[in-house]
Amino acid sequence: MRILVVEDEPDLRRQLKAALTDIGYVVDEAANGEEGHYLGENEAYDAIVLDIGLPVMDGISVLERWRKADLKTPVLILTARDRWSDKVSGLDAGADDYLVKPFRMEELLARVRALIRRAAGLPSAELACGPVVLNTRSGKVTVDGAPIRLTAQEYRLLAYLMHHPDKVISRSELTEHIYDQDFDRDSNTIEVFVNRIRKKLPVDIIKTVRGLGYRVEAPAGPDAA
Amino acid sequence: MRILVVEDEPDLRRQLKAALTDIGYVVDEAANGEEGHYLGENEAYDAIVLDIGLPVMDGISVLERWRKADLKTPVLILTARDRWSDKVSGLDAGADDYLVKPFRMEELLARVRALIRRAAGLPSAELACGPVVLNTRSGKVTVDGAPIRLTAQEYRLLAYLMHHPDKVISRSELTEHIYDQDFDRDSNTIEVFVNRIRKKLPVDIIKTVRGLGYRVEAPAGPDAA
DNA sequence: CGTTAACCTGAACTTGGTCTGAGAGCGGCG
DNA sequence: CGCCGCTCTCAGACCAAGTTCAGGTTAACG
């Protein structure tokens, strides 16, 4: 998953990036509203953390512009404690959640995770596909309860696919979401990681759709329901 | 379906082609207005994506010429944010929709899909013919709810036929719309694919009209069916 | 009813996308 | 500084989609 952090204060920005990176996300950062707005509109993020009190272009305006341009990425806004009304206008402008500064990093991580999960329309923090279970909270994958050791990239790839069950994900969409801005397009790393994951999982939940990309099937066949 | 992309900036052109190809369209590209104009007039497209700010011959002129020549293909124009008036003149010149740069690829894909659908006079993104349902958004075909595995070409062929129910489609019209520029005319691939589709679908919705081509019948006869 | 041209169909062939193993590059950690 | 594990690159093998071909079948027409 790829996250955008828009925060002017260098120290907090660094902390946010570090914490989000630690739990396995790919993070881009913007130091002001203008840059943030541009990135949000042009890159593919799974969630955005947006400080409301920004120089150059304030957070509310950025958010409003995004929503006007029909950007659906979930946004978590950060507000100062003494600017209580910002929270309301932020939610009005289309924020999906808010957090009052100062906050505990743990809290933020939990909320970002929840945003990504809800945006994918998933009911639980545990994504299951047959015997394979991916826990977004612990960042662990198990098969029939037995833990599987995945590297960072392997996990990101699998997590992204499992967040979009039954949907064909193209190679380019995958690279957009598990790498940051600059990455060589014509490379077969995606295939290599798919291969590795397949070798580590006893069941092959990743189907390749020739010419289009990959797809993991939803757990339970929705059969004659 | 076959799309023409007229865009001078190589990077954006590549992205557009990639995205449209990803969702199963056949894409031709032109790097300037002249080339674009020529292709649009001489090849059979189902939709055209046209950048307004082009060298050699600007987009508005291209579009005007097409419309003057009575070309009815739906056209989506791309305009720069700061050239607001272009949008208006573009619509005046006969554009069917517009998008302001920068835009999100998903947005563009949705609009192109909608253009093609509307041009065919279809009310919904789901094309039905008896028990056979083709979903243009997900690119999936089901019969009585059960999914059918089609290859890329099979899908294109079926989609084109189902976009024009009750109309007899000639072999040459089919090849024009599911292949790009250079394709060997005297070949029986169309017949082979029709055959394959017939074998995959339990009901034969593709009727052959001897000497003319193929036809799928409209879903439900209003009454005495 | 026979002839002809159009169409169908199964199988072989070709092509290009995908897979996969081995190894180089790189950074972290002891 | 050297080891180790992760990531990426490359080349060749592999495989399914796409195409061609050859022969069979069907409809149109006199």
Summarize pLDDT for A131-151 with one digit per residue, the tens.
Answer: 999 999 999 999 999 999 999
Mark the ranges of chain B whose per-residue pLDDT is less than 70. 185, 219-225
Contact at CB, A69 and B103, closer than 8 angstroms: yes
In CATH, the number for domain A126-216 is 1.10.10.10
DSSP string of A71-113, one letter each residue: ----EEEEEETT-HHHHHHHHHTT-SEEEEES--HHHHHHHHH
Contact residues of B toward A, CB < 8 A:
18-19, 22, 24, 102-104, 107, 138-139, 151-152
Q: What pLDDT, on the 0 to 100 scale, is given for residue B220?
A: 58
The neighbour count for residue B205, using CB atoms within 10 Å, is 20
Say if residue A123 is exposed, middle or buried (CB neighbours under 10 Å; 0-12, 13-18, 19+): exposed
Query: How far is Cα B36 from Cα A132, in angstroms, rounded to an integer?
Result: 50
Query: Which residue, chain included where needed, has tokens 């970002």?
Result: A112
Which residues neighbour A184 within 8 Å (Cβ) at sequence distance 6 or greater? none
The neighbour count for residue B195, using CB atoms within 10 Å, is 12
Query: How far is Cα A113 from Cα A20, in angstroms, rounded to an integer?
Result: 10
Least confident of A149-158, A189-198, A214-223, B113-122: A214-223
Contact at CB, A71 and B102, closer than 8 angstroms: no
Contact at CB, A168 and B102, closer than 8 angstroms: no
At A218, is the pLDDT very low, low, confident or very high (cuts 50, 70, 90)? confident
Q: What pLDDT, on the 0 to 100 scale, is given for residue A220?
A: 59
At A221, is the pLDDT very low, low, confident or very high (cuts 50, 70, 90)? very low
Q: Residue A211, CB, less than 7 Å from strand C? A: yes
- The class level of CATH for B2-119 reads alpha beta
Return the sign of the alpha-carbon dihedral for residues B199, B200, B202, B204: negative
Contact at CB, A71 and B104, closer than 8 angstroms: yes
Contact B35, B181 (CB under 8 A): no
Tell me the average pLDDT across A61-68. Answer: 94
Residue B217 (CA) to nucleotide C4 (C1'), in angstroms, measures 30
DSSP string of A15-73, one letter each residue: HHHHHHHHTT-EEEEESSHHHHHHHHHHS--SEEEEESS-SSS-HHHHHHHHHHTT---
Q: Spell out the alpha helix ranges (H) of B84-217.
A: 84-92, 105-119, 152-163, 171-178, 189-200
Of B24, B102, B107, the CB nearest to A70: B107
Q: Residue B188, CB, less than 7 Å from strand C? A: yes
Q: What pLDDT, on the 0 to 100 scale, is given for residue B103?
A: 86
Q: How far is A171 from chain B (nearest CA, A)?
A: 9
Residues in chain A within 8 Å Cβ distance of B138? 167
Residue A152 (CA) to nucleotide C27 (C1'), in angstroms, measures 15
Contact A36, A62 (CB under 8 A): yes
How many angstroms from the chain centroid is the CA of residue B8?
A: 21
Nucleotide nearest to B211 (CA to C1'): C6
Residue A55 (CA) to nucleotide C29 (C1'), in angstroms, measures 41
Q: Spell out the alpha helix ranges (H) of chain B.
A: 10-22, 33-42, 59-68, 84-92, 105-119, 152-163, 171-178, 189-200
Residue A41 (CA) to nucleotide C25 (C1'), in angstroms, measures 34
The neighbour count for residue B89, using CB atoms within 10 Å, is 17
Query: How far is Cα B118 from Cα A166, in angstroms, rounded to an integer?
Result: 27
From the list B109, B85, B96, B17, the residue with the least C-alpha distance to B63 is B96
* Strand arrangement of the beta sheet that strand B132-135 belongs to: B126-129, B132-135, B140-143, B146-148
Question: Where in chain A are the domains?
Answer: 2-119, 126-216
Tell me the average pLDDT across A33-43. Answer: 93
Here the tokens at position B68 are 């003057």
Torsion of CA B150, B155, B159, B161, to 10 degrees: -90
Does residue A210 register a pLDDT over 50?
yes
Q: What pLDDT, on the 0 to 100 scale, is given for residue B84?
A: 78
Cis omega (within 30 of 0) on the bond before B102?
A: yes
Coil, strand or helix at B187: coil
